[in-house]
Amino acid sequence: MSKNYRIILSGGGTGGHIYPAIAIANELKQRYPDAEFLFVGAKDRMEMEKVPQAGFDIEGLWISGIQRELTLKNLMFPFKLINSLYNASRIIKQFKPDVVIGTGGFASGPLLRMAASKRIPALIQEQNSFPGITNKMLGSKVQKICVAYDGLERFFPKEKIIKTGNPIRQSLLTVHTKKEEAKAFFKLVPDKKTLLVIGGSLGARRINELIEKELDYLQMQNIQVIWQCGKLYYKTYKIYSNTKNVQVHEYINNMDLAYAAADFIISRAGASSVSELCIVGKPVIFIPSPNVAEDHQTKNAMAIVNQHAAVLIQEADLDVDFENKFSQLMASKEKQDELSKNIKALALVNATKDIADEVEKLLRK
């Protein structure tokens, strides 16, 4: 019999926090069709748009991160925090959740802090090999911590940690069956190889600069390009759309079809992207962002590269290494097959189900 549990999920700021939360919610909704779900995000961040698109209600808190230098935003932070704690408490009191799930990002801090103070069972899902400040602070307050990498006992109580992997969109599990549909959807030339470029939901400046510089080279290689340049850069790069076999997208909603269409992929090495690319199983060139805490994108990428399952190029080496490494990859079917086989072997395909199992245990207590 389906129970009408009440479940709050909180996380956002970037796709890396939002999509895991949506994946967990979808899995729980399948198990409990009568359950009620509420997302809590940060006002003016992308979750306020993406969560309703996925069919869930969301409330926004007035919260943002602390900047590294002294700014007006930092001076506002204490007021935002007090306001967010008050509103998180109000939301919990009104919604009366049976369990609260956090996936990282600004808004999950106040929400899970207030849930813990009201003794509501809570779980956090940490995507990275190096946790963000919000999840590190919450580790001692929650009952369960689902992780994707080994060695997180450095940051969290060991007895609370369960290695599940990162939740991925369920549509990715059938990517290998969608090649023809994907080529039609993106109106691709059937006999050309396709490069997919993804730099994260907001975009990656250095990757975009690289692709702009290499468009003539890619055309000479007879490659067509699906280029997600990101929200921050779309106005700059949209002029290249439909020239030189390139299509430029601000954002791609049908990522399963983008992955299905691709023969090669260039990507950042955020935790969710890495997890998805293991499932997708295509040859990948990782270009990690150097601008993240503890350089965790390089660590995420190296975990794959050390298994001979991807190619890594650091931003500083792009101008010297890109054409050489890409040409080598294109020229060797053997290398492509090796990367595909090895990256698929690293996939934790049951992550979403395993996290939902842990949530169920909290619901039954």
The full 3-state SS of 214-239, as one line of letters, equals HHHHHHHCCEEEEEECCCCCHHHHHH
Residue 122 and residue 113: Cα distance in Å, rounded?
A: 10
Instruction: List residues bridging with 38 in a β-sheet.
Output: 8, 57
Short-list 103, 255, 228, CA closest to 170? 255
Length of the chain: 365
pLDDT of residue 64 exceeding 80: no
Residue 244 and residue 261: Cα distance in Å, rounded?
A: 18
Is the domain of 146 the same as that of 199? Answer: no
What's the gap between Cα 163 and its chain centre?
17
pLDDT-derived band at 242, boundaries 50, 70, 90: confident
pLDDT above 70 covers a percentage of the chain that reads: 95
Give residue 142's pLDDT: 96
Residue 192 and residue 210: Cα distance in Å, rounded?
A: 21
Give residue 1's pLDDT: 45
Residue 127 and residue 108: Cα distance in Å, rounded?
A: 14
Short-list 161, 46, 24, CA closest to 105? 46
Is the domain of 360 the same as that of 326? Answer: no
pLDDT of residue 128 exceeding 70: yes
Residue 260 placed within a domain: yes
Is the domain of 111 the same as that of 222? Answer: no
Cβ contacts of residue 315 below 8 Å, gap of 6+? 206, 287, 288, 289, 290
Is the domain of 328 the same as that of 238? Answer: yes
Residue-wise pLDDT for 173-229, tens only, equals: 899 999 999 999 999 998 899 999 998 766 789 999 999 999 999 999 999 999 999
Is the domain of 132 the same as that of 270? Answer: no
- Quick one: CA torsion of 251, 253, 256, 259, rounded to 10 degrees? -10
* Mean model confidence pLDDT for the chain: 90
Residue 359 placed within a domain: yes
Both tokens of 348, joined, read 């934790």
Residue with tokens 């999950």: 108
Give residue 68's pLDDT: 53
Kindly provide the b/e burial profile for residues 324-349, where b requires at least 16 CB atoms within 10 angstroms of the residue's own CB: ebbeebbeeeeebeebbebbbebbbe
Residue 10 and residue 105: Cα distance in Å, rounded?
A: 8
Cβ atoms within 10 Å of 157's Cβ, excluding its own: 11
Give residue 74's pLDDT: 66
pLDDT of residue 121 exceeding 50: yes
Is the domain of 174 the same as that of 120? Answer: no
Cβ contacts of residue 91 below 8 Å, gap of 6+? 8, 38, 40, 59, 111
Instruction: List residues bridging with 7 in a β-sheet.
Output: 37, 99
Lowest mean pLDDT among 39-48, 217-226, 311-320: 39-48
Cβ atoms within 10 Å of 5's Cβ, excluding its own: 18
- The model's pTM is 0.81
Higher pLDDT, 304 or 293: 304
Is the domain of 147 the same as that of 248? Answer: no
Give residue 79's pLDDT: 73
Instruction: List residues bridging with 198 in a β-sheet.
Output: 228, 267
Give residue 44's pLDDT: 81
Give residue 72's pLDDT: 65
Give residue 197's pLDDT: 97
- DSSP for 196-219, written as a single string: EEE--SS--HHHHHHHHHHHHHHH
33: Cα within 13 Å, side-chain hemisphere: 2
Is the domain of 162 the same as that of 60? Answer: yes
Q: Are 133 and 41 in contact (CB under 8 A)?
A: no
Residue 196 placed within a domain: yes
Residue 264 and residue 252: Cα distance in Å, rounded?
A: 17
Domain of residue 332, residue span:
170-344
**Helices marked H in 54-142:** 72-95, 108-117, 133-138
Residue 115 placed within a domain: yes
Count of domains for the chain: 2
pLDDT-derived band at 65, boundaries 50, 70, 90: low
Residue-wise pLDDT for 265-296, tens only, equals: 999 998 889 999 999 999 999 999 988 767 88
Residue 164 and residue 158: Cα distance in Å, rounded?
A: 14
Both tokens of 152, joined, read 């997180």
Give residue 8's pLDDT: 97
Both tokens of 311, joined, read 């190619």
Is the domain of 220 the same as that of 290? Answer: yes
Is the domain of 174 the same as that of 159? Answer: no
Instruction: Tell me what the mean pLDDT of segment 346-363 comes to.
Output: 94
Is the domain of 145 the same as that of 182? Answer: no
Q: What CATH number did the domain enclosing 312 receive?
A: 3.40.50.2000
Residue 1 placed within a domain: no
Is the domain of 139 the same as that of 287? Answer: no
Instruction: Tell me what the mean pLDDT of segment 356-362 comes to.
Output: 96
Q: Are 226 and 244 in contact (CB under 8 A)?
A: no
pLDDT of residue 311 exceeding 90: yes
Both tokens of 189, joined, read 């030339």
Type of residue found at 200: G
Residue 319 placed within a domain: yes
